[in-house]
Copies of this chain bind each other. A is one copy, B any other.
Amino acid sequence: MNIEEKIKKGHKRTCARLITMLESNDNEAIEIIKSHYKSTGGAYVIGVTGPPGAGKSTLTDKLAKELLKQNKKIGIIAIDPTSPFSGGAILGDRIRMNDLSLNKNVFIRSMGTRGSLGGMSNATWGATKILDIFGYDYIFIETVGVGQSEVDIVKTADTVLMVMVPNLGDDIQAIKAGIMEIADVFAINKSDLDGADKTKVEVEMNLDLNEDMDYRPPVVKVSASKNEDIDVLLENILAHRKYLEDTKQLKENRIRNNKLELLKMVEEDLMSLILDRAVKDDLLDKLAKDITLKETDPYTAKETIIRLIRNNP
């Protein structure tokens, strides 16, 4: 079976292999995306975010099962915020062990954050394109909504689902406040806990502050572990999709997101050019040492590198 047939049949192993290749910036995977780009756009991307401990994975699984009932193909990409050094995906095993992964219409993938110079965001984005090409209808991107880079990833989804739980301590208020602006649907998970109603009211009050909304994000209490009201939550997500489609906002949002992604891709490419050159010349090491010994200052050192890049493109 050649690659085109595998794509047509939605061959899961090929899909997985292409995503792995993409993670190492392999050209073959990039060429596949390029040559099949016209067939993309069918997949609908749902970003799932929220503080640690909110039960995002369980809730995502339950939503996926609900969509399976509608004969949809589901992709799940879990962004693993751990291990910036080893590049490992610690959450991966936990996720892969669940029963969903055995379903032929479900593709689950855990992607670790890698080196400090980025790349995670582009690889995630590329992975959604590959899943799109392989015919997945819904793609969940699940991430811990605390860090800047994680927020950057989730905000390029078509619908952003913010998962919250009652009583998560001090800092949570602040995180909530920061991420509320990008959420399209709120889920208050662990609805049986004391404080669930209070949390719902807090979110609603926060939403009240924003008066000129055409679309008001719904706030839905659910219990992922008890499988309660998952259908209601899904209806709300699909209603948001319908709203975006009816008002043509989906296209506008995707233009905005493609712009952000494009900038990041350019950034990543330029940085590897810089690294290649600066590492080759030992220039970076020399300048870092000079800065530490105070023989130069960081701003002057930066100008040296920029000049080098611009004069030798």
Interface residues of A (CB under 8 A from B): 30, 33-34, 37-38, 40-41, 51-53, 55, 80-86, 90-91, 113, 116-117, 120, 129, 144, 146-152, 155, 168-172, 174-175, 177-179, 181-182, 251, 254-256, 258-263, 265-267, 269-271, 274-275, 278, 284-285, 287-289, 291-292, 294, 297-302, 305-306, 309-311, 313
Contact = CB atoms under 8 A, between A and B. Distances in A.
Contacts of A285: 255, 259
Nearest to A82: B178
Tell me how many chains of this kind the complex includes: 2
A116 B30 contact: no
Nearest to A50: B171
A148 B81 contact: yes
Task: Pick the most buried of A33, A144, A181, A266: most chain B CB atoms within 10 A of its CB.
Answer: A266
B299 A34 contact: yes
A301 B294 CA distance: 41
Contacts of A182: 84-85
B34 A261 contact: no
Contacts of A177: 82-83, 90
Nearest to A301: B262
A118 to B, nearest CB: 8
A218 to B, nearest CB: 21
A310 to B, nearest CB: 4
Contacts of A81: 146-148, 174-175, 178
Contact of A265 (B30, B82, B259, B302): B302
A91 B55 CA distance: 25
Contact of A169 (B52, B294, B302): B52
Contact of A298 (B82, B261, B309): B261
Contact of A294 (B37, B288, B306): B37
Given A34-B300, A298-B261, A306-B266, A254 B292 contact: yes
Nearest to A39: B294
A274 B284 contact: no
Contacts of A305: 262, 266
A195 B166 CA distance: 21
Nearest to A290: B258
Given A80-B174, A82-B177, 13 more contacts: A38-B294, A81-B147, A82-B179, A147-B150, A149-B149, A254-B292, A262-B287, A262-B302, A263-B284, A265-B299, A266-B306, A267-B271, A270-B271
B289 A262 contact: no
A120 B217 CA distance: 29
Contacts of A298: 33, 37, 129, 258, 261-262, 265
Contact of A41 (B33, B258, B294): B294
Nearest to A151: B84
A270 B301 CA distance: 14
A178 B275 CA distance: 25
